[in-house]
Structure 1
């Protein structure tokens, strides 16, 4: 049996512990750099690649790589193996790796990671290896974002479990790290309310409002403004509920939501939740909580934080009554919330749980896979995305799930568009747009329409693209959807650039970038998509703000793990004349399975 192995790469003192004994540290930092790269990269690095990445400053890079691999084998012990070309690292079953626990573990596992929130290989620099230095910086930022996501998830779980004091402690760490994070501020205020400290909640809310007015010139969103209000268990005067009446409240709420009467729907569903609680009817309570949480996430702008809290409560009740599968939709909706905010590691975990809990229930499994595909796309795992979409589409077609089919065709088209497979992209997006019209999913129409216009523009059909962008933008404005408004506005800017009007292009794309995130629960990938277009325009026109916008794209993409857009940020910098950044872009692009990205140089 292999001896227990633990690998710690976070913080200033990386270490390997075998059989509960810390191993002597290897000479120099390069062994740690090599270990970190092999554990985190999703590519299969060849020996030539590793030699150039980490040892190009050596007299004999290949021999130096071999020596470091030998040192690494000695550090990890006999139960591990590092061999082959490409180089493959295999660890004994049950090995603890702190960065893996942080990104793929449950929040309960991740919250106990030593040095949570500390940098990867903290304090170590590799100036002689600029490509690796950039890779390290990108992963430090991504792991810092992952640590914040774990704190957020743990705080929400603690609120739903009744441990409000611990929730407030965790949420305060988030607020301290980023005071302008509306979601963190709302979570802290709600934790104070849950603990019964209304005064602390009001003080925190007022301090948040003052901060936002001072720093941003605006108030925080409705989620923060209303977070200090006490939780009402009953929307109607207290009376002994009947189960039939509670079911009717639930049905009325869902019917109102389908009809677009969101305020009425939320009121009905709050009452159903309160009555199910009084009835001590666990299954009905789970069903009502999931319905309310979903309504808050999808129907009420700026209320994803509250909706996520309700969904956590649904999962807690489902676990207590021994019916975790009844909350599969809650797991999926939480994955969707995390997707929007670019917390992809947590999104993937929630969606994986949803697919597993759904079992043979085709509808829920199809939706979980469909959203999983979007997560994989956003982080540049395109093959994984297509596999998820293919399975979701098969389920949708077998069961007649028209909205799932609409979603899958559209987002599959986005994968092909990003890969510059324009013929495939057109086929899929045309199908997605047709389905959106067929099922009267008007709120979704602007996305496939704008992406299809992207294909038109890439193929030189400028007038067709302009007409489609204009319609998508007008419809998004009518719907009040900032995300789709951003996609279409970006496109109108690109049309202006094609027509030789860079000033109008700049105005459209800049406005699209800011308007798409005007609400706290906006889809961050759209902002990055707009920023990428803005950087392209700025570099071409040599605008003075080009470097600042590239920095903004890099910061957003590295923090969230949008790997392709990290590589594109460095490619933009390379196109401004920074040759080291251009070389770094090639290192970053190697981890993304997109041949089109290799052509950025």
Structure 2
């Protein structure tokens, strides 16, 4: 029996291509959505409280709805044990999983792509479930946007400019205030040769941004609006040699920090290689160009992503696996920064598969995977990947994978309050950065200062955070600045200076969001600290800050920050957040987070599943 479950839009179930008569009531659909979206088995009592807490007999209501769900799916043996785990027949199609776990090719074909989870349904009689559903809807919508973005880039990279523009237009319809999405559409229209439409789109976007959020367009949008300028005529001599010379000149300029000349050389290398049919050189130039736009230039990630997707499309034909891996790794880095973790993990795993002969590249991909798993509170996987990255990086000529791997290892241990291994890793990372990667120094320095703060050494923590903040400002890096400012705010709060703490924490949030391609987790981390101090002070704005944190964490899948947002809501007196907070905390392997559970929720977090029904 072929089974298909569609939860985006009006929910339906199909068996062997025939739509099944829907169940009576909405709770069966809510139960199905919860079981499909959860990454772990769920205890019966927990699910009963989440969905049927208002019933006289919550467990009895759960049993009745489980029976209805078995009929809907045509699987009478499903969901009879404890805890509840929905093990569907092999080959079952689930639209939500297709967009969160599948390739962009699978995701873009989902009929309900871009529509709400359980569209039009509300569960006002179950406020705890309503809270969970609102968060999950945000996550699914963001996943739909990520699929459309990757699909549009991939189509453009393969030369399908019309298809790319159509997908980019759908993306802008979903989220017209995202400058990156607007830039992608404008660049797609320019690539398709419709420069007048691109200009109209740019003008409409500028007017929208000014009217809705009062901002001027950023550099990414402005760059996209400029139609590709014609390059100078090729110089005399071999076009192949010319392309290679431009590539090498571009790489040399970038190594010398001559960014704009380097980018011009790389663009000419791409054009020359295209003219003469030198596809392998074109791939090299595209990877170098895309990587440089992402790592060396602010707010040009969309343009860099476009070059890398084109490189992947060509490299698949030429068999340049190492360059495919490098392009996937850089794209995974962009997705990681922007909190599109489902896409990041797929890209980084693709990179790992093609880096057997590149230890530095393999280690970097492992570090980024570990960072993704840390951001999403999957700590065992995070620590495993980061340990493997550190082990592989020992002895490499390039010190950056080891420096980065140690820093992210320190962060994973710090978040779990395992301070001894956190300090050891952060200290090594700081020392390596001082010696060979000074621009990375603020990150391990901030982590060491936070370890000092957790150890109760306020003076040393304050000095460390101030040094990290000042260095971040000199580097003009919003992530490093935000981490330093957040830490200073926490130190001020610990010293009893709540007014000073609030000023620093507000500043940290502004700095973290200053650029469109900054690290989103750092922004959420700053908002979380702001919520803590704001609630302690009974600040009226605290409710808004908690809502901001919940929205960001739910959309991206930052599970620990989402749990903390729920816990903040509990502190503000919102009892509807207690059950989803307890369920989420129980699923995260972090003793430090469990210690934050209010007493009313602790019994739910520690409870075991009941006997099978």
What is the SS of the residue equivalent to 2:438? coil
Q: How far did residue 591 of structure 1 move? A: 3.3
Instruction: Confirm or deny: 8 A CA contact 2:46 2:583 kept in the other structure.
Output: no
Q: Is the 8 A contact 1:354 1:365 kept in 2?
A: yes
Residues 435-474 of structure 1 show CA distances to partners (whole Å, capped at 9, x for unaligned) of 2223x21111101111111111122111111111111111
Contact kept, 8 Å, 1:373 with 1:386, in 2: the verdict is yes
Superposition pairs of residues 199-214 of structure 1, within 5 angstroms: 199-214=196-211
The answer for the alignment partner of 2:179 in structure 1 is 182
Query: Which segment is superposed worse, 528-537 or 44-53?
Result: 44-53
* Structure 2 counterpart of 1:378, from 351, 364, 375: 375
TM score, norm. by length of structure 2: 0.93
- Name which of 302, 306, 323 aligns with 2:303: 306
Of 135-144 and 18-27, deviating more is 18-27
* In 2, Cα distance between equivalents of 1:558 and 1:584: 12
Pick from 139, 144, 163: which aligns with 2:141?
144
Is the contact made by 1:453 and 1:464 (CA closer than 8 Å) also made in structure 2?
yes
Q: Which moved more, 1:27-36 or 1:221-230?
A: 27-36
The change in CA–CA distance for 1:196 and 1:433 in structure 2 (over 3 A counts) is same
C-alpha RMSD of matched pairs (Å): 2.0
In the TM superposition, what are the counterparts of 1:391-402 in structure 2 within 5 Å?
391-397=388-394, 399-402=396-399
- The farther-off stretch of 425-434 and 235-244 is 235-244
1:513 maps to 509
2:8 alignment partner in structure 1: 10
Q: After TM superposition, give the deviation of residue 271 of structure 1 in Å.
A: 2.0
Q: Distance in 1 between matches of 2:120 and 2:473?
A: 47
Corresponding residue for 2:547?
A: 551
Matched, 1:285 2:293: no
1:254-288 deviations in whole A, cap 9, x for unaligned?
23223322222212211222222223122221111
Decide which moves more: 126-135 or 279-288.
Answer: 126-135
Question: Is 2:235–2:242's contact at 8 Å kept on the other side of the alignment?
Answer: no
Residue 228 (structure 1) shift: 2.2
Q: Which of residues 283, 297, 310 is equivalent to 2:294? A: 297
C-alpha separation in 1, matches of 2:307 and 2:162:
18
| Counterpart residue number, 1:36 | 33
2:582 counterpart SS class: helix
Are the counterparts in 1 of residues 40 and 85 from structure 2 also a CA contact under 8 Å? Answer: no
Q: Is the 8 A contact 1:131 1:587 kept in 2?
A: no
Q: What's the counterpart of residue 424 of structure 1?
A: 421
The reply to whether residue 434 of structure 1 matches residue 461 of structure 2 is no
Q: Secondary structure at the match of 1:89?
A: coil
1:380-419 Cα distance to aligned partner (Å, 9 max, x none): 1111211211222222126455211111111111111111
CA contact (8 A) 1:135 1:587 kept: no
Q: Deviations over 1:179-218 (max 9, x none)?
A: 3211011111101111111122222223333333444444
Which deviates more from structure 2 when the two are superposed, residues 114-123 or residues 572-581? 572-581
Cα distance in 1, alignment partners of residues 574 and 316 from structure 2: 54
Displacement of 1:68 in angstroms is 2.7
- Equivalent residue for 1:482? 478
The aligned residue for residue 20 of structure 1 is: 17
Per mean C-alpha deviation after superposition, the further-off stretch among 225-234 and 92-101 is 225-234
Cα offset for 1:224?
A: 0.9
Distance 2:224 2:285 in 1: 21
When residues 114 and 456 of structure 1 are mapped into structure 2, their CA distance, relative to the original with a 3 A threshold, is: same
Of 393, 400, 404 in structure 1, the residue corresponding to residue 401 of structure 2 is 404
C-alpha change, 1:73 and 1:445, in structure 2 (3 Å) is same
d(CA) in 2 for partners of 1:56, 1:36: 17
What secondary structure sits across from 2:244 in the alignment?
helix
Gaps of 5+ in 1: none
- Matched with 1:455 is 451
Q: Which residue of 1 aligns with 2:125?
A: 128
User: In terms of mean alpha carbon deviation, does 35-44 or 355-364 score higher?
Assistant: 355-364
The structure whose RCO (Cα within 8 Å, separation 6+) is larger is 2
1:236–1:271 Cα contact (<8 Å) kept: no
Following superposition, the deviation at residue 34 of structure 1 comes to 2.0
Where 1:588 maps in the other structure, the secondary structure is helix
How far, CA to CA, are the matches of 2:52 and 2:115 in structure 1?
26
**Alpha-carbon distance change, 37 to 425 in structure 1, aligned in 2, over 3 angstroms:** same
Deviation at 1:573, TM superposition (A): 1.7
8 Å contact from structure 2 (residues 49, 579) kept in 1: no
The residue number in structure 2 matching 1:465 is 461
Q: Tell me if structure 2 keeps the 8 A contact 1:80–1:91.
A: no
- The equivalences for 1:233-382 within 5 A come to 234=231, 237-382=234-379
Does the C-alpha gap of structure 1 residues 88 and 212 become closer, same or farther in structure 2, counting only changes over 3 Å? closer
The aligned runs of 1:15-164 (5 Å cut-off) are 15-78=12-75, 81-164=78-161
Show the counterpart of 1:585.
581
Gapped runs of 5+ residues in structure 2? Answer: 599-613
Question: Which string of whole-angstrom CA distances, capped at 9 and with x for unpartnered residues, describes residues 465-524 of structure 1?
Answer: 111111111111111111111110111111222222222211111111112221111111
Evaluate the alpha carbon distance shift between residue 71 and residue 359 of structure 1 in structure 2; reply closer, same or farther with a 3 A threshold. Answer: farther
* Cα separation, 2, equivalents of 1:580 and 1:571: 11
Residue 78 of structure 1 deviates from its aligned partner by 4.2
- Secondary structure (helix, strand or coil) at the match of 1:454 reads helix
Inter-partner Cα distance in structure 2 for 1:26 and 1:228 = 50
Q: 2:219 aligns with which of 205, 219, 222?
A: 222
Mapped partners of 1:27, 1:61: distance in 2: 18
**Secondary structure of 1:225's aligned partner:** helix
Alpha-carbon offset, residue 244 of structure 1: 4.1
Residues paired across the two proteins, number:
597
User: TM-score of the superposition, structure 1-length normalised?
Assistant: 0.95
